[in-house]
Structure 1
Amino acid sequence: MSHNNPTYRRIAVIGAGPSGYAAAHALSLEKKFDVIRVFERRDKIGGLWHYDSIPDEFPLKENPEVVLPSKFPALAPPATEDVTARTAIYEKLDSNVGAEIMAFSHTPFPLQNSATSVLRLGQNNASRPFQVVQKYLDTLFQKYRHFVSLHTTVERAEKKGDQWVLSLRQPGHAEPDGQLRDFWWQETFDAIVVATGHYNVGAIPNVQGLDETYKTVPTAFEHSKSYRSADNYVAKKVVVVGGNISAADIVTDLHAIVKGPLYTAQRGLNEKLIPAWNLPGVVRKPQLKRVFASPTNGKVGVEFSDGEVVADVDNIIFATGFRVAYPFIQPNNPVTLTNRLDGVYEHIVKIGDPSLAFVGQVKGGLSFRVYEYQAVAVARILAGRGNLPSVVEQKEWEKKRLAQKGDSVAFHEILPDFGLYWNRLREIAGKPAPESDGYELPLWRQEWADTALAILERKGKWWNDQIQYAKARL
């Protein structure tokens, strides 16, 4: 059934990273909207693909809720910095999805590799250093820069009647008295596309003793979001918590330089990454049960769930993923306590009200290309051209997915069913309208998954080479 709603004329996109670009591009091609605005809280394009030398703090709590002014527009004292806006990029970060499939279908990445990736993965490998990714996004966004308001935080997005009211804040307005103030104002839209990504608020598991130990030895703890350079861990005793790609990348960086052994604590793990946990000097342990402060030396001790205790640890790095967080959507925030979006069909539109749309809320979906598919589907829905099933069928989809994937962030995990999801987005998007500049999304091809995940194969080979080299030296 087609969802035809001609009232969506003014659209706000929240976020100017890869999913924000995908949304702006797709909306623009529809040639159906009077206003497209993109709001980005940072002072540059690219979202999380920027390096912040000072990282986010250890994320034990989210930012306190911002108090809105009583009237708009307003000038107000500066709000405290939103540290969640600092990114997870570190000095030597290379992309983990093969460049050919990571790129949007309409524009390939330039071929440019980092020295580290060439040493590990070979010449002309499929990874790209973060600087190349950021420049790619910045270049693409130039066409839509007139949509973009940088350094603008959406502090509140609230639906009132059939309109979305956005409360917006811009810091750094100098007043005649020499003081800097935040400028607040409101704008109204028919629909919003939330494209703020899901790498903002680090998820920390519930570990016995963590709160008290953190108060005593705060410097011992960090989330992978705050990891910056291997130089910070030379000759340190380190535990890495987690079993997925960021844990594997950190272990790869640190295994040869820390005060060995390097412990990894894992509740579960990605089978493709097993060679990383077998690197020389790495000891694989089950999940972390307890942490405690060492009484004498300002370090911490850990106990794993098998009962082994390791004392005098300098750093515990939690590579334990991120929380779904869209705190500005009020009062009906769709994020559940179980870390997923509730009542959102195919991870892209609110069931029964597509004026609330999301681009980028998937795990293991093959970014950036999956954002492109989501954005084209969302743009067509908002243009009254998409093929949405009935509300009853949308609710049935959510019920089935909950039964299949569980009530957790895994609800948003696409891997390994790429083809099913991409082709479903293609069906929802349908063919472009003749009066638009849109294009038809290509059918999924299985070799895309192989191309996208080839970096992991190359990494696996390099890890195994290191293991064999170490054995040969014994």
Structure 2
Amino acid sequence: MGSLLPPLGSLQVKRVAIIGAGPSGLAVAKYLLAENAFDKIDIYEQQAEVGGVWNYNANITDHIPVPQTAPNVPLDKPIWPPGAVAPLFPNPMYDRLITNIPKHLMQYSDQAFLPQSLLFPTREDVQDYLVRYSRDIRHLIIFSTQVEDISFSQENGQDRWSLTARSTIDSKVAKNPYDAIVVANGHYSVPFIPYVPGIQAFQAKYPSVISHSKNYRLPQSFRNQKVIVIGAGPSGLDIGNQISVVCQKPLLNSVRSEEPLKLGKENIEEVPPIAEYLVEERSVRFEDGRVEKDIDAIVYCTGYLYACPFLKSLDPPIVTTGRRVIGLYKHLIHISHPTLAFTALSQKAIPFPLSEGQAAVIAKVWSNKLVLPEESIMNAWEKKRVEELGDKTNFHILGFPKDADYINELHDWAGCAEDGFTKEPPYWDQQQRHMRSMFMDIRKRFVELDGKATTMKELGPEFENFDR
């Protein structure tokens, strides 16, 4: 990796804070703990249970501005349901979600899904899986505590961080010093709803029509309505299929390109993006000139903005437009402040094994068993990626085979540590890469068999070799 700075042994990291007890935060904690090099590891979680986005809240939704194109929003406010012992926070999980990742690839390297879990696990399966995964690190988690601010300073040439957190139960505030911070709060908090001509006037006239997938829970509220679902990603496809069963036929799916996975399309008509909102007759005009009137519901499945409201004092800022995180090497470590790391920012990737690889690298770097390249080399990596992919969401998008390559790169990177592996992260062999390449075929076959399979063998002889 070229000449190396800082020199071996220069980081003084003994106290680490992890923001978030979701899938990536839990993985980081396990690898840091395995290194046996840190005096204090605290995990801050604003909910009362682990799981992050998988920790489902049935009726907890929030107000989303229309449009919403900037990430600079306040911290989520705790909501107290009747009779609750701890408050809840809105999240994007909906009731009937089934993952789009087969469990053989989704799982961590050291824990399998239960045999009775569906091949594509339900949200309940995943949440149960994460609760079981957290058993040996729950003593590190500070539950029902929201991080409000993290400020940076230097002391004798070393990075120092001051973290301010508030209990969501009794509002008590604590301020604690740390040597390093892992931001593992995910990127499914601030919805993205793009500006379209006329959208503000339309929203003012019909405030209940436009929503975002973050607030979607069940299809019943769309019964017999005329519905447009915007987006062709996994959530747009899944939510559109669910709503299409109960809404007026056909559901209109507004997409920029044809979705390759044709499932449930008998109730769905693909249409171009919306070019303009028309207040008169509750209408929209699509890019091909077609006008649809009397629209009852429009659901934006257009993703989220990256946001770190608790790091607002960091200069220069790490998030500006919300389309990517700025100043990172390999999507992971802050170039100017190597004691600040971010996990699972990548999209179109398999997050659990990816988080393990990132966790292994973080643990080795912060324990001074692995050194980073010179700052100029890390800056050059980021600059080259911006030149190739632009300065927006594409920066963090991987997809196959880049996600598989990245998982293996992280494995090999951590393995370069002076003491080798303490806890070895995943490495994808040819079978796992082949399974990843057949993602769509496996998912299609699963759905064709009514979504009941728990093993690859049940899908047919062409898939049985994937079972382990």
Q: Is residue 460 of structure 1 aligned with residue 444 of structure 2? A: yes
Contact 1:294 1:312 in 2 (8 A): no
Cα–Cα, structure 1 residues 419 and 80, in superposed 2: closer, same or farther, change >3 Å?
closer
SS for the counterpart of 1:24 is: helix
Per-residue CA deviations over 1:303-329 (Å, capped at 9, x if unaligned) read: 111111101111101010111111111
Contact 1:10 1:35 in 2 (8 A): yes
What one-letter code is carried by the residue in structure 1 that aligns with 2:112?
A: P
**Match of residue 209 from structure 1:** 198
Per-residue CA deviations over 1:204-246 (Å, capped at 9, x if unaligned) read: 1111122222222121111111111121212111000011111
How far has the Cα of 1:292 moved from its partner?
3.1
What one-letter code is carried by the residue in structure 2 that aligns with 1:22?
A: A
Aligned with residue 135 of structure 2, among 133, 142, 145: 142
Contact 2:19 2:44 in 1 (8 A): yes
Q: Is residue 415 of structure 1 aligned with residue 399 of structure 2? A: yes
Per-residue CA deviations over 1:86-105 (Å, capped at 9, x if unaligned) read: 11111111111111111111
Distance in 2 (CA, whole Å) between partners of 1:80 and 1:86 is 8
**Match of residue 387 from structure 2:** 403
What one-letter code is carried by the residue in structure 1 that aligns with 2:276?
A: R
How far has the Cα of 1:455 moved from its partner?
5.4
Cα–Cα, structure 1 residues 100 and 79, in superposed 2: closer, same or farther, change >3 Å?
closer
**Match of residue 32 from structure 1:** 37
**Match of residue 15 from structure 2:** 10
Identity across the alignment (%): 29
**Match of residue 427 from structure 1:** 412
Cα–Cα, structure 1 residues 449 and 88, in superposed 2: closer, same or farther, change >3 Å?
farther
Aligned with residue 343 of structure 1, among 327, 342, 353: 327
SS for the counterpart of 2:321 is: coil
Aligned with residue 178 of structure 2, among 186, 189, 196: 189
TM-score by length of 1: 0.84
What one-letter code is carried by the residue in structure 2 that aligns with 1:12?
A: A
Q: Is residue 170 of structure 1 aligned with residue 167 of structure 2? A: yes
How far has the Cα of 1:251 moved from its partner?
2.0
Q: Is residue 289 of structure 1 aligned with residue 275 of structure 2? A: yes
Per-residue CA deviations over 1:250-273 (Å, capped at 9, x if unaligned) read: 122122321112111112455x32
**Match of residue 305 from structure 2:** 323
Contact 2:160 2:179 in 1 (8 A): yes
Contact 1:339 1:409 in 2 (8 A): yes
**Match of residue 126 from structure 1:** 119
Q: Is residue 89 of structure 1 aligned with residue 74 of structure 2? A: no
Distance in 2 (CA, whole Å) between partners of 1:79 and 1:90 is 20
What one-letter code is carried by the residue in structure 1 that aligns with 2:52?
A: G
Q: Is residue 353 of structure 1 aligned with residue 350 of structure 2? A: no
How far has the Cα of 1:132 moved from its partner?
1.3
Distance in 1 (CA, whole Å) between partners of 2:406 and 2:180 is 24
Q: Is residue 376 of structure 1 aligned with residue 373 of structure 2? A: no
Distance in 1 (CA, whole Å) between partners of 2:309 and 2:233 is 26
How far has the Cα of 1:364 moved from its partner?
1.2
Runs of 4+ off more than 6 Å: 462-466
TM-score by length of 2: 0.85
Give 5+ residue unaligned stretches, structure 1: 67-77, 114-124, 174-181, 467-474
Aligned residue-pair number: 428
Q: Is residue 305 of structure 1 aligned with residue 298 of structure 2? A: no
Give 5+ residue unaligned stretches, structure 2: 81-86, 451-468
Contact 1:288 1:303 in 2 (8 A): yes
